[in-house]
């Protein structure tokens, strides 16, 4: 089979103007970035939403999530795209909403995130690289605040900032473990006071979360102003508004707030906007992109990062809480090979050949591994949302193994479980899945509910997620976390939702605990405030917000050929 890049280049994309016109967008509502991608002005969202309200219609809202993945991933993005392609083939106007890939994994351990095979977005190179520059705008706005903060210290510290309380890092959109902890300000008094600092990957920035959760420019500006950068010596929060930098940050993000319109390999609409990771941030594409898609399409497939315990939980408890949108159905992606691993067979290591044990029929291992599938289905059902399991089929999967997955899914409460071959056959390979999802979304989720109310304390919210979503036996707070929780409650932030940062490779905080672990206790190492985004982030176990590169980074394969074409991108 041809590579993802070769497949993407074998198709001539439609002019993006045509895709936009089919959505009801006007020519003057587009900002073109060449012939195949465009930004959509925010005025178009308001106009289309008003028209949809007047007509009494709104698209069906489907979130795509997954079981606990292996390091190679289970094809959730590919499945989201294939599902939308399948829905379009069945005659339903469908759009896909995805996050923009970070350059960290593109050049690091994972590679690109534009889908794969015959279910991907085009132009594939643009999606995986700079696209329209939104990630760089986020980095610039974030680092501007950091520069203003150190500049305030240098020029007399008139705000009486306590340097020991500064928790605002700098960011870069590359995996670089050497920057996790650093000392800045060396070289003399003219270079500002020396202090310890850190870098995070750009997608972990609170600014990225704000961009994804903002509902309009005014909301964006207000959220940026609420960012807490440090505290004074008297304990008062120092905000971006106090530093008079929030306005300049908003200027840098004005264009980045506009959703990006692209297309699938089969010419259907795709919105790619914002890129927070689900293990260290809230892991969902923007509210604005989803609203635009819902106002212009019959059904929208929006992806939530990693397993249901991460991206889907945050989709419901943070994104839906903020937007007020109610989902109609969920799709939970699973693979036979991952379930075998959760059943104790084989191992998956990124960059190495697949363990032969994962390619051999082993129904018993699949059945054991389906404990993880059942747990993730139950997570979604906590919110009253119907679940369809999408079995992303590989050539080595046997009928007996697929039957075992379907039986386990139905027993756990899924409304259907369908094998799909969209990677090889595009939308045609996902028609059965699309039909099942359409039926589930048509019924909807009349009993949709959030996991916890605003009124619970931060500790009660953390414990609720740990016990009911992860299946933990309890929560243990390290002293730094306890002090932070007490301070945030006292400062009036107790009503905020929580955005847990933990490994994506286990339902627990420990990546070594596969399947459906029990009896473990969740250690909360640290708790960070994201007042502008509107949540607090507990860090579980050894979770880090700056990844490192593997021994053989994907970037070693990426180059330009003699004609100037990109090679090695996957």
Q: Which domains does the chain have, with CATH numbers?
A: 4-131+259-443 (3.40.50.300), 134-253 (3.30.1510.10), 461-540 (3.10.410.10)
The pLDDT of residue 292: 98
The pLDDT of residue 488: 97
pLDDT at 551 over 90: no
pLDDT tier, 352 (very low <50, low <70, confident <90, very high otherwise)? confident
pLDDT at 282 over 80: yes
What is the phi/psi pair of residue 272, to 5°?
A: -120, 110
pLDDT at 287 over 90: yes
Record the pTM.
0.96
- DSSP single-letter state for residue 243: T
Average pLDDT over the chain reads 95
Please state, as a whole number, how many other Cβ atoms lie within 10 Å of the Cβ of residue 310.
Answer: 31
The pLDDT of residue 349: 74
* DSSP run (H or E) holding 431: helix 431-443
Give one word for 426, left, alpha or beta, with left for phi > 0 and alpha for psi -120 to 50: left
pLDDT at 110 over 80: no
* DSSP run (H or E) holding 96: strand 94-98
Q: Are 374 and 516 in contact (CB under 8 A)?
A: yes
The pLDDT of residue 105: 86
pLDDT at 346 over 70: yes
Burial 33-55 (b: 16+ CB within 10 A, else e): beebbbbbbbebbebbbeebeee
Q: What angle do CA 432, 434, 438 make, to 5 degrees?
A: 120
Largest CA distance in the chain: 72
Burial 401-436 (b: 16+ CB within 10 A, else e): bbebbbebbeebebbbbbbbbbbbbbbebbbebbbb
The structure tokens listed for 43 are 């005025």
């Amino acid at each position: 089979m041809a590579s993802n890049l070769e497949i993407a280049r074998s198709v001539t994309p439609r002019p993006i103007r045509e895709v936009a016109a089919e959505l009801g967008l006007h020519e003057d509502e587009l900002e073109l970035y060449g012939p195949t991608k465009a930004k959509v002005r925010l005025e178009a969202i308001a106009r289309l939403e008003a028209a949809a309200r007047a007509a009494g219609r709104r698209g069906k809202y489907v979130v795509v999530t997954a079981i606990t993945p292996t390091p190679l991933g289970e094809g959730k993005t590919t499945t989201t795209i294939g599902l939308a392609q399948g829905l379009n083939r069945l005659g339903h106007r469908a759009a896909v909403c995805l996050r923009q890939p970070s350059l960290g994994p593109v050049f690091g351990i994972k590679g690109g995130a534009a889908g794969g095979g015959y279910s991907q977005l085009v132009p594939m190179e643009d999606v995986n690289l700079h696209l329209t520059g939104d990630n760089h705008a986020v980095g610039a706005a974030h680092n501007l605040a950091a520069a203003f903060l150190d500049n305030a210290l240098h020029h007399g510290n008139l705000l009486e900032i306590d340097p020991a309380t500064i928790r605002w890092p700098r960011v870069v959109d590359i995996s670089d473990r050497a920057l996790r902890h650093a000392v800045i300000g060396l070289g003399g008094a003219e270079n500002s006071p020396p202090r310890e600092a850190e870098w995070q990957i750009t997608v972990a920035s609170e600014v990225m979360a704000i961009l994804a959760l903002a509902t309009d420019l005014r909301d964006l500006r207000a959220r940026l102003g609420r960012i807490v950068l440090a505290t004074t010596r008297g304990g008062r929060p120092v905000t971006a508004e106090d530093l008079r930098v929030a306005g300049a940050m908003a200027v840098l993000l004005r264009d980045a707030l506009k959703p990006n319109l692209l297309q699938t390999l089969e010419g259907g609409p795709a919105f790619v906007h914002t890129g927070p990771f689900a293990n260290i941030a809230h892991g969902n594409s923007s509210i604005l992109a989803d609203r635009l898609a819902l106002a212009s399409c019959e059904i929208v497939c929006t992806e939530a990062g990693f397993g249901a315990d991460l991206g889907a939980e945050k989709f419901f408890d943070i994104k839906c809480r903020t937007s007020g949108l109610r989902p109609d159905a969920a799709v939970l992606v699973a693979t036979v090979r991952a379930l075998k691993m959760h059943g104790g067979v084989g191992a998956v290591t990124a960059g190495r050949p697949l363990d032969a044990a994962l390619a051999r029929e082993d129904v018993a291992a699949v059945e054991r591994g389906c404990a993880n599938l059942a747990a993730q289905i139950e997570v979604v059902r906590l919110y009253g949302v119907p679940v369809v399991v999408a079995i992303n089929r590989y050539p080595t999967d046997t009928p007996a193994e697929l039957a075992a997955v379907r039986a386990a899914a139905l027993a756990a409460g899924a409304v259907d479980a369908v094998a799909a071959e969209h990677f090889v056959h595009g939308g045609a390979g996902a028609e059965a899945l699309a039909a099942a999802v359409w039926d589930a979304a048509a019924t909807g989720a009349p009993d949709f509910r959030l996991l916890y109310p605003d009124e619970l304390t931060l500790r009660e919210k953390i414990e609720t997620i740990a016990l009911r979503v992860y299946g933990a036996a309890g929560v243990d707070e390290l002293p730094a976390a306890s002090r932070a929780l007490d301070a945030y409650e006292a400062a009036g932030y107790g009503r905020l939702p929580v955005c847990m940062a933990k490994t994506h490779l286990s339902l627990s905080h420990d990546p070594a605990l596969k399947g459906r672990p029990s009896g473990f206790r969740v250690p909360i190492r640290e708790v960070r405030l994201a007042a502008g985004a509107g949540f607090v982030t507990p860090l579980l176990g050894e979770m880090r917000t700056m990844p490192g590169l593997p021994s053989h980074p994907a970037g070693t394969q990426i180059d330009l050929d003699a004609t100037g074409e990109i090679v090695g991108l996957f």
